[in-house]
Chain A
Amino acid sequence: MAVIERINELESEALAAVSGAGSTGDLESVRVRYLGRSAELTEIKKGIGTLPVDERKQVGGAANRVSRSLEAAIGSRSQDLAGGEREKRLREEAVDVTLPGVPYPKGSLHPTLRIIDDVVDFFVGLGYRIAEGPEVETDYYNFTALNIPPEHPARTMQDTFFLDDGLVLRTHTSPVQIRTMLSQEPPVYVVCPGRTYRRDSDPTHTPMFNQIEGLAVDHGLSLAHLKGTLAAMARHTFGEGAVTRLRPSYFQFTEPSVEMDVSCFVCGGADQNCKVCKGAGWLEMGGAGMVDPAVLSEVGYDPEEFTGFAFGFGPDRMAMVKYGVPDLRLFFEGDLRFLRQF
């Protein structure tokens, strides 16, 4: 039967064209040519109705078989071609991955304030609040209320900046403790971070520096609570292995007074030539003590009912130690070469 032969011819012709198509575009032309609306095979299918009844089945069957065979061939060829073309496109789209990315801005936080934020967060976790107070302070809050009366040598030792009569730049954040105690009843648990000022200028002293002080007043607080608090803070800041020790010291507003040392987080005391602890094995962290009963009385607390502890650190120094900064003056010069490192 001529029609069936023709269908078979078309099949071989079309299959050859499918394998010969070099792109998905060529393949689409092949599909249109052999399977499109005006393709010969389509015409044949359309004309089936005009064929004698006994031929219809045979021709229809052959045409459908070839249609399916061509569609399958085109589909498979199409996948091959598309895959190849996508690969080619991806190859062409390759970039130099060593080129820098789009520059998103990167700023920095001041190293001292990073330390302060971290220490404050630690104490917040223990139930402390942050107390703040003025930097221009009265003589009374900065000294007298802290058991440092007029003419006391400790006043001169603190190298105070004076303003108008009776006003000073606070030499420590301790007046914030006084203001806090005057404004509330125990229990008190506060940390007081802030800028402080002393009339001093050399590589290890700047006329402005930062302090973080802490104060707790409650029923039954002891030196053990102070030690436990400081030790926990040291572990938070310097790692779980940090060991804390207390040494006797002297401050006007605490009795007993102590200094707190923490084991060197670099060498742990094992390196005689350690640059951080200078071979001592210990780093001086700050002063602390049990709040002097005279101070408690001064703010109207009953020292027989309440006891308290206070402590103070220099976050600038902590930052120097932690980040390896050799010169304190760098902290306050606004030098971008310095600030951008944090």
Chain B
Amino acid sequence: MRVPLSWLREYVDFDLSVDELVKAISLHSQEVDGIHRLGVLDGEVVVGEVVEFGPHPNADRLSVAKVDLGGQEVQIVAGAPNPYPGARVPVVLPGSVMADGTKLRKAKLRGLESNGMMMSERELGISNDHSGILLLDESYEVGRQVAEYFPVGETVLELDVNPNRPDLWGMIGVARELAAILGTDFRIPDISFETGGPPTADYGLRVEAEDLCPRYDLRRVSNISPGGRAPLEMRRRIFAAGMRPINAIVDISNFTMLETGQPNHVFDASRVREGIVVRRAKPAEKMKLLDGTTRDLDTDMLVIADEERGLVIAGVMGAEDAEVGNETTDVLIEVATFAGQSIFGTSARLALRTDASGRNERGLDPNMVPFARDRVASLLAEHAGGTIASDTLSHYPEPVDSWEAPLRLGRAELLLGIPVERDEAVGKLEALGCGVQAEDGRISASIPTFRRDLRREADLIEEVGRLFGLGRVPEELPKTSLSGGLTPAQQKVRTLRRLLADLGLAEAITYPFGPDRWRRDLSLESGHEPPTLANPLSAQAREMRSMLLPGLLDAAARNEAFGVESGAIFEVGRVFEARPLPEGKRDAALHFRLTGELNQPGTDAEDGASSFMGVEENQRVGGVLTGAIQPGGWNAPVRRAGFFEAKGIVERLVPGASFSPEVRPFLHPGRSAVVRAGDAAAGWVGELHPETAEKFDLSGGPVAAFELDLAFCDPDPAPRFQPFTNVPAVSRDLAVVVDSGVPAGDMLAAVGKTGSTMLAGARVFDVYEGAQVPEGKKSVALRFAFRGEETLTDEAVNGELDRISLCLRESFGAEVRGD
């Protein structure tokens, strides 16, 4: 809502700077979204009379004028051609500051001095018209300040009106609110007029769709002088409030809407056949609207029609057909209350929002109707020479009356945390328009019908709180004795994220929805349909992810495209899988989703709830490594992304994990493994299949990745003390030759199972294939640590090593090298 301050002052007096006013409104009522300035901010605008006007000698497009400012004649260079000797014009004097902050100075334009500027409507903030200088009529006295006739500068506050306050979509409502904040009074314009002319009842009124139209009023104004313009000040206000002045009738209609917050519609009575019908649109009905578009209506939309055709999409926009024009002399004023949700739905389905629909969709106060109706009528009489019919037609079968809402002072004090003194609370509620009765600690407020948001005690407490001022509320902390904390699972995620960051990975957050290309490019099985969005922003963001991988790969590709070929990223996030609903339970599931109710006899609540979701979410951690994940230094080798780099990370996340080859379509068949924690599959690790890499536009060499179910990760397993002796361990190496295909991990596992009491550690420290070993074989160098209660003898160690060699020979055909 745009609130021009000079207009606001018509209803309420206030002596505040703009900053103070903004603060008062934003701390007690609505947010002020912006401050707009129009016209002349500071300085003088004087009524001048053009004495001479002619072409500029040195410029084709400029003119030069001599202007009498009331005893003083000045020369002014102008761009507009429309002034003439004898014309009265507004002249802004040098030194004045314009709305955009520029300061007007004496200037020389093409050799001629210019002492001020004659102003267009746009420069004065009256309209967007910049085609010529505003010409003033004879009533403007030469030499006087224009500001004595109308404001030459305007400050407009843009209020961000909360949806529960439709009453603030009108100037009077804003004035009432400000008066309540400031503890002062406000004024509503008096409406008085004489009646005459042909009666409204020459036309009929029939409301067929009563459910969508609680109130509908008509009043006729005839004998209007056709083609008139609204007074300058009215046009100026409409413009400042953000609308476009058009002609006297439309401007009066809009002015009244802006003033009252109540939209209205003015029909050219001569085009209305027989009478007004309020009905739902007919099947396949179309309407050509004022904005030039033709709209297809549906049968849930409310239409204002005559006996032959639709005239208005109710509360939204009128048809071109019944538009008032320059020849209109006889009008019917419609002021009505529509069901807000219906207007909202219509406006949403047509993607058509107007000043009227924005107000109507909130659901307005039917008791506002007579004031707005007669305000339009009286302004038409005053400014367009109309004659107001003595009768009105009104459909208002169920009048709305004010209702009572209670307020216990103790309850208010409890919720607000401040003392609530009775008389002060009563005063605030009365300022809002409530009738208030108070007895001891209880207040009963009779709520005016324009405050439909005030129904309950909590609503009144809010009003009291904000008008008292939230600044009064002290700062306290709840005194709870609960011990807060993270659950072990939450703590684990923390530790895991920090660990990955410490290992050099960058944490990312990627979108959980993407294109169906993801599944194709990963060659995932079809038939396993993921949950999809019904209204994605684009087809590229339609499917919920079943893996973290594709989003991370897209990010890696993006990084590569921007020249960052190397790096490692990880994400902790959810993946989504569709879970078919139990047989025959679709209706029950829908009922649950909409109402939270599990009305399934014999169903365990928990089971029902999760099976009715239809989507399963699981938390995963995934990572992608590309290029030189650790850059080399002058004294350190480069480390490039590969299977073992990713595996090393996985080993930190899932201690004790076992790895065995498993083919996944998107991974390198020889460089990928399933990760097991105990017997359970915890995830996978591997290098990306070159074909997959290509599909994801990754061309910079091997890409390694992993993805694990968070439930199996244990980045910081609970420690348990193991006793140790001070006897030093004896280290022995053993190099064996085995077939290339023998997994080193199996060899280590077999060694571990020999049951040696001395063996304190075993690891692979070298693997070699090449000239030194036969084709199809490899040399595996193992290093063992032996430790006993006492210093071990060579004999004992050698005996143990022999047992190990024997085991490796029997299990893997291993031959000890270098014997």
Interface residues, chain A, CB within 8 Å of chain B? Answer: 99-100, 102-103, 105-110, 112-113, 117, 120, 123-130, 132, 134-136, 138-141, 144-145, 150-151, 153-154, 156-157, 161-167, 169, 187, 189, 195, 199, 201, 207-208, 210, 216, 218, 220-225, 227-229, 231-232, 244-250, 255-259, 290, 292-293, 307, 331-337, 339-340
- A164-B534, A246-B470 known; 7 other A-B pairs, CB under 8 Å? A107-B568, A110-B509, A153-B163, A224-B417, A225-B417, A334-B571, A335-B562
Give the Cβ gap from B628 to chain A, nearest Cβ, in Å.
11
Inter-chain contacts of A257 with B (CB < 8 A): 462
A245 and B501 CA atoms in complex are apart in Å by: 37
Partner of A136, one of B344, B494, B531: B531
Residues of B133-183 whose CB lies within 8 A of A? 162-165
Inter-chain contacts of A130 with B (CB < 8 A): 486-487, 490
> Which size class do B's interface residues fall under?
35 or more
Give the Cβ gap from B341 to chain A, nearest Cβ, in Å.
5
Report the nearest A residue to B475, measured CB to CB: A228
Beta-carbon contact of B480 and A138 below 8 Å: no
Beta-carbon contact of B501 and A107 below 8 Å: yes
Inter-chain contacts of B535 with A (CB < 8 A): 161-162, 199
The residue in B462, B503, B505 that gathers the most chain A C-beta atoms within 10 A of its C-beta is B462
Partner of A100, one of B340, B571, B634: B634
Beta-carbon contact of B617 and A134 below 8 Å: yes
A125 and B632 CA atoms in complex are apart in Å by: 43
A-B contact list, 10 entries, CB within 8 Å: A105-B630, A110-B508, A127-B484, A199-B535, A222-B417, A223-B473, A224-B416, A248-B466, A334-B555, A337-B564
Report the nearest B residue to A248, measured CB to CB: B466
Residues of B651-704 whose CB lies within 8 A of A? none
Give the Cβ gap from B601 to chain A, nearest Cβ, in Å.
20
Inter-chain contacts of B571 with A (CB < 8 A): 334
Beta-carbon contact of A224 and B567 below 8 Å: no
Inter-chain contacts of B593 with A (CB < 8 A): 138-140, 165-167
Beta-carbon contact of A166 and B594 below 8 Å: yes
Inter-chain contacts of B568 with A (CB < 8 A): 107
Give the Cβ gap from A102 to chain B, nearest Cβ, in Å.
5
Partner of A256, one of B465, B595, B630: B465
Beta-carbon contact of B590 and A166 below 8 Å: yes
Instruction: In the A-B complex, list the 9 residue pairs whose CB atoms are closest, starting with the nearest.
Output: A334-B555, A105-B504, A224-B417, A166-B593, A222-B417, A250-B162, A256-B462, A228-B475, A107-B501
Report the nearest A residue to B612, measured CB to CB: A138
A245 and B265 CA atoms in complex are apart in Å by: 43
Interface string of B615-635 (1 = CB under 8 A from A): 101000000000001111111
Q: Is B807 part of the binding interface, using a Cβ–Cβ cutoff of 8 Å?
A: no
Supposing A107-B503, A107-B505, A153-B344 touch, asked if A247 and B596 sit within 8 A by C-beta, the answer is: no
Supposing A161-B535, A335-B562 touch, asked if A109 and B498 sit within 8 A by C-beta, the answer is: yes
Inter-chain contacts of B559 with A (CB < 8 A): 334-337
Q: Is B361 part of the binding interface, using a Cβ–Cβ cutoff of 8 Å?
A: yes
Beta-carbon contact of A224 and B476 below 8 Å: yes
Beta-carbon contact of B614 and A123 below 8 Å: no
Partner of B531, one of A102, A164, A195, A223: A164
Binds A, one of B3-11, B22-30, B712-720, B810-818: B22-30
Partner of B555, one of A107, A164, A335: A335
A293 and B632 CA atoms in complex are apart in Å by: 62
Inter-chain contacts of A224 with B (CB < 8 A): 416-418, 473-476
Inter-chain contacts of B247 with A (CB < 8 A): none
Beta-carbon contact of B511 and A207 below 8 Å: yes
Supposing A107-B505, A126-B484, A166-B594 touch, asked if A256 and B414 sit within 8 A by C-beta, the answer is: no
Beta-carbon contact of B480 and A187 below 8 Å: yes
A127 and B502 CA atoms in complex are apart in Å by: 29
Residues of B479-529 whose CB lies within 8 A of A? 480-487, 490, 494, 497-498, 500-512
Inter-chain contacts of B506 with A (CB < 8 A): 107-108, 336, 339-340
Supposing A134-B613, A334-B508 touch, asked if A307 and B414 sit within 8 A by C-beta, the answer is: yes
Q: Is B478 part of the binding interface, using a Cβ–Cβ cutoff of 8 Å?
A: yes
Partner of B415, one of A157, A210, A222: A222
Give the Cβ gap from A118 to chain B, nearest Cβ, in Å.
12
Beta-carbon contact of B596 and A144 below 8 Å: yes
Beta-carbon contact of B348 and A156 below 8 Å: yes
Give the Cβ gap from A190 to chain B, nearest Cβ, in Å.
9
Residues of B398-434 whose CB lies within 8 A of A? 414-418
A195 and B629 CA atoms in complex are apart in Å by: 29
Supposing A187-B482, A256-B466 touch, asked if A247 and B477 sit within 8 A by C-beta, the answer is: no
Beta-carbon contact of B595 and A140 below 8 Å: yes
Give the Cβ gap from B296 to chain A, nearest Cβ, in Å.
21
Inter-chain contacts of B554 with A (CB < 8 A): 334
Report the nearest A residue to B511, measured CB to CB: A208
Beta-carbon contact of A169 and B470 below 8 Å: no
Beta-carbon contact of A331 and B509 below 8 Å: yes
Beta-carbon contact of B634 and A99 below 8 Å: yes
Report the nearest A residue to B161, measured CB to CB: A250
Inter-chain contacts of B504 with A (CB < 8 A): 105-107
Give the Cβ gap from B338 to chain A, nearest Cβ, in Å.
14
Partner of A207, one of B163, B537, B613: B537
Inter-chain contacts of A107 with B (CB < 8 A): 500-507, 568
Binds A, one of B120-128, B255-263, B453-461, B777-785: B453-461
Q: Is B288 part of the binding interface, using a Cβ–Cβ cutoff of 8 Å?
A: no
Give the Cβ gap from A254 to chain B, nearest Cβ, in Å.
9
Report the nearest A residue to B459, measured CB to CB: A255
Beta-carbon contact of B27 and A245 below 8 Å: yes
Partner of B471, one of A154, A225, A245, A293: A245
Inter-chain contacts of A332 with B (CB < 8 A): 509-511
Inter-chain contacts of B532 with A (CB < 8 A): 163
Report the nearest A residue to B483, measured CB to CB: A127
Q: Is B576 part of the binding interface, using a Cβ–Cβ cutoff of 8 Å?
A: yes
Beta-carbon contact of B592 and A138 below 8 Å: yes
Partner of A250, one of B163, B486, B537: B163
Inter-chain contacts of A335 with B (CB < 8 A): 555, 558-559, 562, 564
Inter-chain contacts of A256 with B (CB < 8 A): 415-416, 458, 461-462, 465-466
A216 and B479 CA atoms in complex are apart in Å by: 11
Interface string of B577-606 (1 = CB under 8 A from A): 000000000000110111110000000000
Beta-carbon contact of A167 and B475 below 8 Å: no
A157 and B353 CA atoms in complex are apart in Å by: 13
Give the Cβ gap from B337 to chain A, nearest Cβ, in Å.
17
A110 and B572 CA atoms in complex are apart in Å by: 11
Beta-carbon contact of A208 and B512 below 8 Å: yes
Interface string of B725-738 (1 = CB under 8 A from A): 00000000000000
Give the Cβ gap from A112 to chain B, nearest Cβ, in Å.
7
Inter-chain contacts of A105 with B (CB < 8 A): 502-504, 629-630
The residue in B164, B466, B508, B569 that gathers the most chain A C-beta atoms within 10 A of its C-beta is B508
